[in-house]
Amino acid sequence: MKNQKINVGIVGLGGRGAVLSNILIDQADINVVAVCDVYEDRQLAIAEKIKSKTGHMPVCTSNYRDILSMELVDAIIISTGWKQHVQIMCEAMEAGIAVGCEVGGASIEECWRLVRTYEKTGTPAMMLENCCYGRDELMLSNIVRQGVFGEVVYCGGCYQHDLRESLANGHENRHYRLDEYLYRNRENYPTHALGPIAKLLNINRGNLMLTVTSSATKSAGLHEYIVKNKGEDCALSKAEISQGDIVTTTIKCAGGENIVLTLNTTLPCPYSRGLKVCGTKGMYNEDNMSIFLDDKHNQYHMEWKNHFGNIEKYRNVYDHSIWKKMHDDGMRGEHSDIDYLVLRAFIDSLKENHKMPIDVYDMAAWMSISALSEKSLLLGGIPVAAEDFTNGRWIKRDTAEYWQYELNC
């Protein structure tokens, strides 16, 4: 496919689908040939954009199987709700159509199905975890791989994002996440924090996640918000919310490292992925945008606050080549740039016939944390064993072979 245009179908045209579509339309080596959503207005909005840009109307459908049966489709992008991800991915792989899929959680059975379908078909599939392409996350991968932090023993990460407004209006704005909060309690959105950390710790490539332990606070924030903003008589104000406000999840790794994830989505807070990386020679703390290096910063002690934001001083040295190349290509580091980068990683890996930089084993391992944290909570907060989706191959799989795209960029 190296010098060909790739024919892409897009399945799911809500908030994320619209963002990804707009980027895909602009790629010179992509034809968007079909779009799919259960809502017709969404299909038409994107289709009109494509037509005005290319002169061709894409196929519009409310059934993704229409796209999977199109001979000319090379790849699909899935940006539906979480619940449909694995089913559509597996059907696409069976049809020999490459898949880039948005993030979310999945059941253990779904994760295994994903892995087995890939092993049976060999069809390329990648999770479009855009946060793996954040500027700081990429920079940290340079820093860690160059040994600047020594031996890394701990990584923390958050999905700290106040979703109260979109959840409270979930039944009106087609937001699919509300049911998650009404009926379930778990680390329901692990991959933004976990994805970049799993890469730093070489999970599935010499390292493995072994156990998952979760603890949840009571649920107070969403109910209070709904009562305040929709009134006490609103049906949702009377509903019981199952999801705790903050869920803390600790993951033990084969290499002796700990990963601590914090989900915080129903309280007022600034957006943060709260990345923290601690090693024997230094640490990084996203919450104050600082890097602390042994033998260099130790003397600051109580004056550390004067060094908030010192990460800017390290951009020149450690910015990742992927990020620099994007700037050379004329992009400017907007929020949507991480979407651009993750889509380019998928497209370029497909064209170059590289292994996908976030493959089905990563997807399965990362997505399974939702189910595992729910299990831990249901059992009173005991550690539960994580699954080894590589079936022992994690010991020999190495980063050089599997992360060709990123390491050689």
Decide if residue 300 touches a copy of itself (CB under 8 A): yes
- Determine contact, residues 398/205, Cβ cutoff 8 Å: yes
If you search the block for the tokens 């050089």, which residue do you land on? 400
Decide if residue 378 touches a copy of itself (CB under 8 A): no
Q: Which of 172, 232, 235, 302 binds a copy of itself (CB under 8 A)?
A: 302
Separation between Cα atoms, residue 117 and residue 389, nearest integer Å? 12
Token output for 27: 């790629």
Shortest Cβ 236–a copy of itself spacing (Å): 16
Rg over alpha carbons for the chain, rounded to the nearest Å, is: 21
- Determine contact, residues 162/267, Cβ cutoff 8 Å: yes
Decide if residue 317 touches a copy of itself (CB under 8 A): no
Question: E-strand spans in 282-350?
Answer: 282-285, 290-293
Decide if residue 146 touches a copy of itself (CB under 8 A): no
Residues 6+ apart with CB under 8 A from 263: 158, 159, 187, 188, 189, 190, 246, 247, 249
Decide if residue 207 touches a copy of itself (CB under 8 A): no
Decide if residue 332 touches a copy of itself (CB under 8 A): no
C-alpha closest to that of 146 among 275, 298, 274, 319? 319
User: Which one of the spans 72-80, 177-185, 261-269, 389-397 is the region binding a copy of itself (CB under 8 A)?
Assistant: 261-269
Size of the site for a copy of itself (CB under 8 A): 63
Give the nearer residue to a copy of itself in terms of CB position, either 96 or 309.
309
Separation between Cα atoms, residue 159 and residue 225, nearest integer Å? 19
> Letter for the amino acid at 189?
Y
Shortest Cβ 181–a copy of itself spacing (Å): 15
In the range 47-76, which residues lie near a copy of itself by CB under 8 A? none
C-alpha closest to that of 119 among 361, 368, 402? 361
Decide if residue 7 touches a copy of itself (CB under 8 A): no
Give the nearer residue to a copy of itself in terms of CB position, either 223 or 320.
223
Separation between Cα atoms, residue 64 and residue 154, nearest integer Å? 41
Give the nearer residue to a copy of itself in terms of CB position, either 72 or 382.
382
- Determine contact, residues 98/75, Cβ cutoff 8 Å: yes
Give the nearer residue to a copy of itself in terms of CB position, either 248 or 390.
248
Question: Up-side HSE of residue 346: CA atoms within 13 Å toward CB?
Answer: 33
Q: Which of 80, 185, 188, 285 binds a copy of itself (CB under 8 A)?
A: 285
Decide if residue 326 touches a copy of itself (CB under 8 A): no
Torsion of CA 349, 391, 189, 202, to 10 degrees: -60
Decide if residue 166 touches a copy of itself (CB under 8 A): no
Q: Which of 269, 331, 378, 407 binds a copy of itself (CB under 8 A)?
A: 269
Binding site for a copy of itself (CB under 8 A): 150-151, 153-154, 162, 211, 213, 215-218, 220-221, 224-225, 244-246, 248, 250, 252, 255-258, 260, 264, 267-272, 278-283, 285, 287-290, 292-295, 297-298, 300-302, 304-305, 307-309, 335, 380-383
